[in-house]
Amino acid sequence: MENILKRYKDCGSCRALRGTVAVCAVFVQEPGNVWTEAEIREQQTAQTEALQYLLQQARVSGVPLRFRQTVRRMNTQRVWAYGDVQGFEDAYANSEGKRSLSECVAALNAAAGTEQAAFVFLFKKEGVSFASCASSVYFSEAVFMYGKLHFPVLHELLHLFGAVDLFYPPAVTKEAVRLFPRSVMYNGADPNCRELDDLTRYLIGWTDQTSPKAMALLHAGAGLTAEDIQRGMAEVFNAEYTTVYFPDGVYYGPIKNWHMEGRGRMEWNDGAVYEGDFVGGRAHGRGTLRTADGRVYRGVFVNGKFRG
Ligand SMILES: [Zn+2]
């Protein structure tokens, strides 16, 4: 356990989520992916709400915490490939007259009078949001958000301060569903998942106590190496056959772009079962649904609804 804690707590300039933290939101304007003023306001509101929530939680926990928020825009001449983190970071640093994002982080800290700083890069195009830090595949202090999905900024920011995902691998998910189904680290995209679980509170430095629940998650495998996570993410986002635990049931089958897609089987906790085609996470195509009270629907499903 010591190794895990050391690895996650020593990530760059972000160590524990306490004190004053500079958060710089950078709205990235690519050709064809340009933010409107209304959209920028909307995203800023969402980010401020997420930070307010953290502040409120910190207060309740007796943790001193403040944020210094700034906003910037970056105009680029090219559309950045999803995942070209290093290339993009270099370009951003360059646009700021710096050699690396680390230098940008240092400059942000110097300007804000803080010791910890995080960049939140907001892209308008589609993609899965992620944090780029020591606890993930890449190393820097930045969060990459993609506009066409929900903005799970809370989840991603917590990564920068040591939090780990609870949706992978299956053994961890299984424990997380049982212990913390509403944890923001279990499902950052679901607005109902806003809770800070015991393990997260421990990893972000809000408590020195490892609760039995936190230990259960660690023993189940939470806090993997960067390579493990990279491999695991690939499996979670795209798998020919996998098992995904949800708060209300279990899915067995293929996953594409993080959605149930292809021929699979969903078993709900109440006993209902659907076996058949899935598209974009919903029953869509040919399949059979047996409801909890024993009714059977066999035929064509469209967007999760039986059509006959
Ligand atoms: Zn995550």
Q: How much distance in Å is there from the Cα of 97 to the middle of ligand 1?
A: 30
Q: How much distance in Å is there from the Cα of 185 to the middle of ligand 1?
A: 6
pLDDT above 60: residue 254: yes
Interacting residues of 83 by C-beta distance below 8 A, sequence separation 6+: none
Q: How much distance in Å is there from the Cα of 8 to the middle of ligand 1?
A: 13
pLDDT above 90: residue 202: no
Q: How much distance in Å is there from the Cα of 164 to the middle of ligand 1?
A: 6
Which H or E run contains 54?
helix 37-61
pLDDT above 80: residue 78: yes
**Out of 17-21, 47-51, 98-102, 255-259, least confident range:** 255-259
Distance CA 28, CA 82 (A): 13
Q: How much distance in Å is there from the Cα of 152 to the middle of ligand 1?
A: 9
Interacting residues of 2 by C-beta distance below 8 A, sequence separation 6+: none
Q: How much distance in Å is there from the Cα of 301 to the middle of ligand 1?
A: 32
**Out of 9-13, 200-204, 297-301, least confident range:** 9-13
Q: How much distance in Å is there from the Cα of 119 to the middle of ligand 1?
A: 16
Residues lining ligand 1 (ion), CB within 5 A?
A: 165
Q: According to the CATH classification, is domain 17-160 in 3.40.50?
A: yes
Domain boundaries, the chain: 17-160, 248-306
pLDDT above 50: residue 84: yes
Q: How much distance in Å is there from the Cα of 136 to the middle of ligand 1?
A: 8
Q: How much distance in Å is there from the Cα of 173 to the middle of ligand 1?
A: 13
Tokens of 266: 């969903």
Q: How much distance in Å is there from the Cα of 38 to the middle of ligand 1?
A: 27
- Mean pLDDT of all residues belonging to the chain: 84
Phi/psi at 251 (nearest 5 deg)? -115, 135
Cα R_g (the chain), whole angstroms: 20
Q: How much distance in Å is there from the Cα of 302 to the middle of ligand 1?
A: 31
Q: How much distance in Å is there from the Cα of 188 to the middle of ligand 1?
A: 7
Per-residue b/e over 153-192, b at no fewer than 16 CB within 10 Å? Answer: bbbbbbbbbbbbbbbbbbebbebbbebbbebbbbbbeeee
Tens of pLDDT along 21-76? 999 999 999 999 999 999 999 989 989 999 999 999 999 999 999 999 999 999 99
Tell me: cis bond preceding 152? Omega within 30 of 0 counts. Answer: no
Q: How much distance in Å is there from the Cα of 295 to the middle of ligand 1?
A: 38
**Out of 112-121, 139-148, 198-207, least confident range:** 139-148
Tokens 């970056």 label which residue?
Answer: 74
Q: How much distance in Å is there from the Cα of 135 to the middle of ligand 1?
A: 10
**92: how many CB neighbours lie within 10 A of its CB?**
22
Q: According to the CATH classification, is domain 248-306 in 2.20.110.10?
A: yes
Residue 260 pairs with which residues in a beta bridge?
Answer: 255
Which H or E run contains 69?
strand 65-75
Tens of pLDDT along 143-176? 888 776 556 889 888 888 888 888 877 788 889 9
Q: How much distance in Å is there from the Cα of 175 to the middle of ligand 1?
A: 16
Tokens 């910890």 label which residue?
Answer: 116
Q: How much distance in Å is there from the Cα of 155 to the middle of ligand 1?
A: 6
